[in-house]
Amino acid sequence: MKPRFSILVTICVLAAGTVGTGTAQATPIPSHATAQAEIFATSNRALITDPADPRLKTRLLRFDREVRDVIRANGGRTSTSRLLEGVYWSSEQKNTTYEPSREFDVNRVSASGLHHIAGVLAKQYHQESVLTFRYLPRTAPDAKAIEIEAPGIDARRLHDALVADSAARDRLGGGSVATGGRLILVTPRADLALARKFVTGLGVDWSAAQVRYGAEELVG
């Protein structure tokens, strides 16, 4: 099975309307309240296994400007971005890698326009594929995926948990950690129970986790 989180770019589109709540304790994420979309992107193609590797210290500032240019050139608008440190398991390479990336808030973009931007970024930065995620109400027929944010996690802790939990690393594949220790996971909705077990196993109070529902797409 192709590893879900060998994906080096993740794109999230917010749909209009509120996100429904349920047993997942879904709540709004204030920092993205006005964003129509999110783009998680990197220019990294190296396999980085050492958490002390100096390449993880990059802030991707030039990349930040370049991605903004791509978004604007293709009709979108972006205002903010945040630095992320990803941790991904590759079932093909049988290894876990660290990866620096950035998350961009995006507005004024349609679903088809976002799909196009994903393709441009994948080609420009030689990425294997791009994951798109359209945010939808929990009850929408196409809401078959989830995005989870949870506080109090660092990348080394995420790495060690994935290494120790074969079921989680094979199904979830990995995730990202934002500055300040916010874990970000995107996974099929069918894996919500597994994701919840994994997140609480990291010591996170599930009531503090934020969950959004939507539809994901891989763009190659």
Domain that holds residue 21: 4-219
Report pLDDT digits (tens) over 84-115: 999 988 777 788 999 999 888 888 888 898 88
How confident is the model at residue 181, as a pLDDT? 93
Between 150 and 109, the more confident residue is: 150
Q: How confident is the model at residue 123 (pLDDT cuts 50, 70, 90)?
A: very high
CB-based burial label for 113 (10 Å; 0-12, 13-18, 19+): middle
For the residues 102-129, what does the mean pLDDT come to?
88
How confident is the model at residue 23, as a pLDDT? 43
SS3 letters across the chain: CCCHHHCCEEEEECCCCCCCCCCCCCCCCHHHCCCCEEEEECCCCCCECCCCCHHHHCCCHHHHHHHHHHHHHCCCEEEEEEEEEEEEEECCCCEEEEEEEEEEEEECCCHHHHHHHHHHHHHHCCCCCEEEEEECCCCCCCCCEEEEEEECCCHHHHHHHHHHCHHHHHHCCEEEEECCCEEEEEEEHHHHHHHHHHHHHCCCCHHHCEEEEEEEEEEC
For the residues 15-26, what does the mean pLDDT come to?
40
For the residues 67-71, what does the mean pLDDT come to?
94
**Tokens linked to 207:** 């009531």
- Lowest-confidence region among 3-7, 119-123, 142-146: 3-7
- Lowest-confidence region among 47-56, 57-66, 125-134, 182-191: 125-134
User: Considering its fold, how many domains does the chain have in total?
Assistant: 1
Report pLDDT digits (tens) over 183-206: 999 899 999 999 999 999 999 999
State the chain's mean pLDDT as an integer: 83
How confident is the model at residue 13, as a pLDDT? 54
**Tokens linked to 121:** 């970024």
Nearest to 180 by CA among 149, 201, 211: 149
Percent of the chain residues topping a pLDDT of 90: 52
